[in-house]
Structure 1
């Protein structure tokens, strides 16, 4: 009987230790969920007393300060992470496999944005919350001017100024007197005057994220060419990136306080709570349907087009990696299972798998791109921001580029969403609504990202599994560097 008792005690201790470890690793997630619940309770409680706008403002003040903390670190995060990642992951250093995988990453990120945009216009989440009293501006922004601003901002004329200002077409109304003969000059006639809109290229406040990303990509790629000569430069930005990420991790521990404040203020200040929850439900439906399309249609279709085989068996061989990614919310934690399925189960070249999978874990996030694009359009819709075709293109381009250098912090997509909204001057206070569903959104988009990594490995192996396609020494060296980067940053 004693041995049974000892076995029971050991099992209890083992369970307690595992439970303690899980709670320690997921404490921020648990606190954020509790914060959402508390925020709803406080918000509905205060809403019953019909608070004034001043009360709602002060209720949301801690949350506003939390969002300001995140926005404060956006520019340092973009500069350091983009330069470091592009210098470490220069696709030309590994020839054809690097170019194919890098092209796949950019195209699938754009594909995720396109799916999100399409479904947004089909389902239209947030339409019922749009302010009915919003009148269109007299100064209509033309689509050609939006694209012109996009091109100007992509190539900033001053990289320092790009950190806090961006180019924007300005419109001014001028009243011009018509020249001509009038039948009765003594009687004032409003038709004698004409209102015209004069355009000029000016500046607006806010960081030029697109320009910073492209400029830092050029600097990072150039720095990667110098290897030993540029080692000091690269080490500086590597350490700087880690420092900025550490500051971000500190700030994210304040997320529960910010979530309580923002959620309570949003609920207390809303006049139609039923429509708010209905809009949020439509948003979840839009993202979930987009993830389904990506996982079960787009990825298998890409595999079939390029590999010419049935994608079902291949994708099912990564079910364990998908489950790990879904459970943890991190594709980096699924990397060992991804490598095992690639090398052992599917016989993918070890050199290719060990380069492509870490690269994808760092830069490939089409599921996150879909979520961020849909969320940015949803927030813009409920805050009354005009979603013209040009604005949607800007959101898609910014998201596709931003997700390639997404910060390795918990709920990184929320951080990137704040970055995109800030870049297009959309108020970010409504982001608090998304925290209520973030735990579910994070899991399903991570599962989509994991599946995308596996397809990228198969396509790269199809066209690069030849001795001439890669230089083995370079692959081993760069693989170790990429693995170190991913593990250290995602830990």
Structure 2
């Protein structure tokens, strides 16, 4: 049991998918319904937690960012947000071009939205205390109020709430995700749909891996043009940060390496010390690109609306909400569940597929995020450095 706990989230999710596909071929419906029942209960808990995740993580995150008022903060936040949105739009544009034909080659669109044909043995309804948009508006209002009013008591209260939500994610959601995903793929295999889904996933993952390399190249080409240096040498210097993030899947854990390599690229101590830790929280280009590509895939598979206006709204909100992502593997997708449900209308089954597809590439998104932080630091240093 101890050895199982030492296995990372990604291997556990992969094992869950494989076992779900294998066992779904021969388990009787009575056994499959046990896992359908678990998934029904767990999805209710997820739905209850989503507004709390928004309030508990976004509010203190906005309060923290707002404390360092000044031009340097504003410029860094604007660049990070713009780059995150741009990466997501790139994913949407590429996906709109390539994904429909890829999905069509698998033999048609499987009806994932209707895959929960087996009913649970029993259900429990756990309604959320507030809806997602109310929680988001509340978070912005109180976050900005705490920041500008320097409300220390309120700040401590929401810091405590963030601690509770972080623990709920780490202890009450993340450990059960493999079992949840196992249940989803078990049910889909039982209904004869898993094969097509797996084939689609494999193709989409390849496209996303290529996209994340392209994002890093354009980030450093822009930064290289600003500082008038070879962009590929700058990118090569950041390679240790990329590899560290690839191994840890955590932007927070990679900050020391990212900072050291950013300094090696010639960024001043003051700028690097400010930009790198801040961007570890607010610059999520790789994660936004992955989530957008995965969301578009699920929309195409399930016949959901996926027009540009809808996805632009989703991307703009996603790039804000992900600031709340805790520094743990899979944190970004937990924060993204809110706009996925409220804007794109993702149900529990679609959310489970999103989680599985996202976690399969979690470390690559994190590596893209932190490596891109070095490019932003170069640009900001050029604007503000007195050298």
Q: If each structure's helix is expressed as a fraction of its own residues, which one has the higher value?
A: 2
Cα separation, partners in 2 of 1:457 and 1:242, compared to 1, 3 Å:
same
* Higher Rg of the two aligned structures: 1
Q: Decide whether the 8 Å contact of 2:314 with 2:339 is kept in 1.
A: yes
Q: Decide whether the 8 Å contact of 1:357 with 1:453 is kept in 2.
A: yes
Cα distance per residue 1:87-114 (max 9 Å; x no partner): 11127x3522211110111101101111
Q: Which runs of 5+ in 2 are unaligned?
A: 114-127
Q: Which residue, 401, 411, 417 being the options, matches 2:320?
A: 401
- 2:288 alignment partner in structure 1: 369
- 2:222 alignment partner in structure 1: 302
Cα distance per residue 1:353-400 (max 9 Å; x no partner): 111111111111110001111111211221221223332222222222
Is residue 254 of structure 1 aligned with residue 176 of structure 2? yes
Cα separation, partners in 2 of 1:37 and 1:322, compared to 1, 3 Å:
same
Give the distance between the partners of 1:68 and 1:248, measured in 2 at CA.
14
Is residue 311 of structure 1 aligned with residue 231 of structure 2? yes
Give the distance between the partners of 2:137 and 2:289, measured in 1 at CA.
21
Matches within 5 A, 1:461-476: 461-466=381-386
Cα distance per residue 1:291-323 (max 9 Å; x no partner): 122122x21232134323221111111111110
Q: Which residue, 148, 153, 164 being the options, matches 1:225?
A: 148
Q: Which residue, 78, 87, 109 being the options, matches 1:103?
A: 78
Q: TM-score, normalised by structure 2?
A: 0.85
Q: TM-score, normalised by structure 1?
A: 0.68
- 1:268 alignment partner in structure 2: 190
- 2:130 alignment partner in structure 1: 163
- 1:77 alignment partner in structure 2: 53
Q: Which runs of 5+ in 1 are unaligned?
A: 1-19, 135-160, 165-206, 468-491
Cα distance per residue 1:313-358 (max 9 Å; x no partner): 1111111111000111112111111111223x23322122111111
- 2:96 alignment partner in structure 1: 121
Shift, 1:449, TM fit: 0.5
- 2:310 alignment partner in structure 1: 391
Q: Decide whether the 8 Å contact of 1:376 with 1:395 is kept in 2.
A: no
- 2:250 alignment partner in structure 1: 330
Cα distance per residue 1:11-39 (max 9 Å; x no partner): xxxxxxxxx9x986545444333322221
Q: Decide whether the 8 Å contact of 1:129 with 1:276 is kept in 2.
A: no
What is the DSSP-based 3-state SS (H/G/I as helix, E as strand, rest coil) of the residue aligned with 2:25?
helix
